[in-house]
Amino acid sequence: MKAMNEVELLEALKSSGEPLVVFLHTPLCGTCKAAERMLEVASHLLPAELQMVGGNVNMLPNLVQQY
């Protein structure tokens, strides 16, 4: 999973013509850590063209407000 900042995530959401999985998390969230591990395992079973990206919601105020 590729970590992105707010500008990168907003651009990817606007311009991505391919399927995109966006995982938003907070560093101190135990459930988020478990979900991230599950996504890493599942990513090996998903099509290669499916891009998986993520970001820390504490650093993404505009993205959180928009979506």
pLDDT tens-place string over residues 1-49: 899 999 999 998 888 678 888 999 999 999 999 999 999 998 889 888 8
Contacts of 3-8 with CB under 8 Å at 24 or more apart are 3/53, 3/54, 3/55, 3/56, 4/53, 4/54, 4/55, 5/55, 5/59, 5/60, 6/55, 6/59, 6/60, 6/61, 6/62, 6/63, 8/53
Whole-model pTM above 0.85?
no
Which domain does 60 fall in, by range?
2-66
Split into its structural domains, the chain has a count of: 1
CATH number assigned to the domain comprising residue 49: 3.40.30.10
pLDDT tens-place string over residues 52-66: 999 999 999 999 898
